[in-house]
């Protein structure tokens, strides 16, 4: 129990998929639980709840984040994108489209996290960020090609119990191709 006079909850405003939500939260509430249990945005999945599986990945200010390790209070005022905010109305995002075309899922439980992570990968790659698989990290070497090895390394934080990895890598490669000009 908190010492008398010390509050354990606050009213916060979360900016999710372009909407503002003001809600009281216990300070220990994770962003994942706030999204799923309080805002009913259940597209974001809870797998391990300890930062190991990537199922809960969302974008916070454009960066991929495992929402089970972020407190909701720390996300206040930041721009959060969940899987529910990725499509443009009925039009799937190219990353979503590629997952459908290449069968990048089986049960689908990991898929929202895979797609949010792939969005982060494409932006990080377009910005020239190297990965552990990048052979030449000198600035003059430029943006590394997004090879299957690069994709596997960059997506390695997202586990898939169904083992759909081969198709996921193909889907991310296809999505990289179709968003190349948009992200350049
Ligand atoms: S539920 Fe967050 S990383 Fe597994
Ligand atoms: S599609 Fe089932 S866990 Fe990935």
Half-sphere exposure at residue 134, Cβ-oriented, CA atoms within 13 angstroms: 18
| Mean pLDDT to the nearest integer, 165-173 | 98
Mutate to test the pocket of ligand 2, among 99, 103, 106, 115 (most ligand atoms within 8 A of CB): 106
- For the stretch 37-70, pLDDT in tens is 999 999 999 999 999 999 999 999 999 999 999 9
- For the stretch 81-114, pLDDT in tens is 999 999 999 999 999 999 999 999 999 999 999 9
- 64-95 burial by CB neighbour count: b if 16+ within 10 A, else e? bbbbbebbbbebbebebbbbbbbeeeeeebbb
Closest CA to 64 of 44, 48, 47, 49: 44
Q: Please calculate the CA angle 90-117-144 and round it to the nearest 5 degrees.
A: 115
Model-level pTM? 0.94
Quote the ligand 2 centre to 159 CA distance (angstroms): 8
108 within ligand 2 shell (Cβ under 6 A): yes
In the block, residue with structure tokens 């720390």: 74
| Mean pLDDT to the nearest integer, 24-35 | 98
Quote the ligand 1 centre to 32 CA distance (angstroms): 9
Residue nearest to atom 4 of ligand 2 (CA): 160
Q: Tell how strand 19-26 and strand 9-16 pair up.
A: antiparallel
> If 0-12 CB within 10 Å is exposed, 13-18 middle and 19+ buried, where does residue 33 land?
buried
47 within ligand 1 shell (Cβ under 6 A): yes
- For the stretch 114-167, pLDDT in tens is 999 999 999 999 999 999 999 999 988 888 899 999 999 999 999 999 999 999
pLDDT for the residue numbered 2: 66
Of the bound ligands, which one is closest to the alpha carbon of residue 109?
A: 2
């Amino acid at each position: 129990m908190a010492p008398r006079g010390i509050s354990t909850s606050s009213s916060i405003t979360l900016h999710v998929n372009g909407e503002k939500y003001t809600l009281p939260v216990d300070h220990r509430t994770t962003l994942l639980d706030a999204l799923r249990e309080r805002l009913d945005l259940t597209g974001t999945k809870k797998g391990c709840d300890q930062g190991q599986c990537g199922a809960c990945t969302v974008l916070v200010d454009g960066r991929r984040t495992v929402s089970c390790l972020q407190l909701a209070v720390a996300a206040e005022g930041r721009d959060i994108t969940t899987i529910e905010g990725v499509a443009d109305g009925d039009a799937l995002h190219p990353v979503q489209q590629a997952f459908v075309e290449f069968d990048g899922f089986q049960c689908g439980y990991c898929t929202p996290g895979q797609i949010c992570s792939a969005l982060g990968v494409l932006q990080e790659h377009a910005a020239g960020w190297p990965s552990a698989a990048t052979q030449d990290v000198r600035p003059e070497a430029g943006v590394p090609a997004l090879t299957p090895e690069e994709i596997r390394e960059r997506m390695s934080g997202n586990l898939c119990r169904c083992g759909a990895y081969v198709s996921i890598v193909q889907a991310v490669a296809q999505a990289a191709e179709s968003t190349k000009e948009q992200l350049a």
